[in-house]
Amino acid sequence: MRIPAPLFALGAAAAIALAGCSGGGSAVSPSGSGLMGVVQHPNYQMPHVNNALSMKNLTTLLSSKQYVSNDAGCGTGALIYASQYYTNAVQIYKQAGTNQSPCATVTTSMVNPQGMNVDTTGNLWVANTGASNVVMLKKGSTTISKTLADSGQYPVDVCIDSNGNIYASNIITTGGGPGSVSEWVKGKGTPKNLAIPNNAKVLFCALDNKHNLYVNYIDATTGTGAMVEFVGGKGTAKLTAVTTGFGGGLEFDEQNDLVGNDQLGPTTCTYELPSGTGSCKTDTGDALGLTITSSGKDVYVGDASGGSLYEYTYPGHVLKDTITTGLGSSSPPFGLAADPGVEL
């Protein structure tokens, strides 16, 4: 049995075919002439079969025991998490200092991790794309404490509301069908499914302070980025005015304005919804993952092509720090998350 390489939703993940580079797999071919332009953008690659996705290695990744203790050298200060799709890892950095080295690395049971989020208690939630699940780790820990099965889906981002409901945006199904959103009510049980009409690929999610869920995706007709809202995180998708070339990470700031990346800009934009006109700042490389610190004064942006993690002032977008240690073009940061600890 061949395990297909899941679709890279983010950064180099913006390719339009499912697996198919080895073993005779066939490509998914959504409609929309603009889609090919996305594939051919220099920051993107077509999916390839990663050795870590062989049946033998996948079984080992999912069943091996964890040998690194909780809070492995990361202390109690604020942390930044960066997922590495290609190398099946999550790097953990302290926010203090410049060009920090990782204080810990999560590898066990990580299979193509992508989007991440941190809940109000500091737990890290990871969209574990290649394993079709969402996993939770306590702050600074390298041990998985909880797993939510997202059967039949490739989750690429995760969002949590203050009621404990967990949402995962699924780029496509494991069979190559349209993307969607999975919802675990109170973080338990079998997920409900929220449909996004006419999508070629579903990408990132974000929740505002009223529990309204926003999800960006690639429109199957136009081949460009669009965004929908689920009022209260429920019901039917409502199209918003926000459009992008190819959507990147999303997060709401302290003023409840939406902050989002456009990977094809590359830009980081702030939107005062319902306006679809953003105030945009230029980034370096492939602006993929995004997270805002607990103070709201800094934003981290991951470059999924060059392999660096940039810290900018927010909203001024003045570069403060560049993290390269533990990263690189072969192991770039895809998803980012900042915990709500005290910034040192």
If one counts every other C-beta atom within 10 angstroms of the C-beta of residue 98, the result is 9
Tens of pLDDT, residues 57-70: 444 444 443 333 34
Determine contact, residues 100/325, Cβ cutoff 8 Å. yes
Inside any domain, residue 240: yes
If one counts every other C-beta atom within 10 angstroms of the C-beta of residue 36, the result is 11
Residue 62 CA to its chain's centroid (Å): 20
Inside any domain, residue 3: no
CATH for 253:
2.120.10.30
SS3 assignment, position 51: helix
21 burial level (CB within 10 Å; 0-12, 13-18, 19+):
middle
In the predicted model, what is the mean pLDDT of the chain?
A: 83
Residue range(s) defining the domain that contains residue 278: 11-64+80-338
Residue 20 has pLDDT above 60, yes or no: no
CA 120/CA 114 separation, integer angstroms: 20
Residue 2 has pLDDT above 60, yes or no: no
Determine contact, residues 284/306, Cβ cutoff 8 Å. yes
Q: What pTM was computed for the model?
A: 0.84
Within 13 Å of residue 325, how many CA atoms lie on the same side as its CB?
13
Task: Report which DSSP code applies to 6.
Answer: P
Inside any domain, residue 6: no
Q: Per-residue pLDDT averaged across 29-41, rounded?
A: 34
Amino acid identity of residue 239, one-letter, is: L
- Residue 318 pLDDT level (bands cut at 50, 70, 90): very high
Inside any domain, residue 269: yes
CA 306/CA 285 separation, integer angstroms: 6
Tens of pLDDT, residues 203-249: 999 999 999 999 999 999 999 999 999 999 999 999 999 999 999 99
Q: Which residue, chain included where needed, has tokens 């003023």? A: 255
Inside any domain, residue 4: no
Inside any domain, residue 58: yes
Tens of pLDDT, residues 99-158: 999 999 999 999 999 999 999 889 999 999 999 999 999 998 999 999 999 999 999 999
Residue-level pLDDT at 309 = 97
Q: Are strands 279-282 and 267-271 parallel, antiparallel or unpaired?
A: antiparallel
Q: How many domains does the chain have?
A: 1
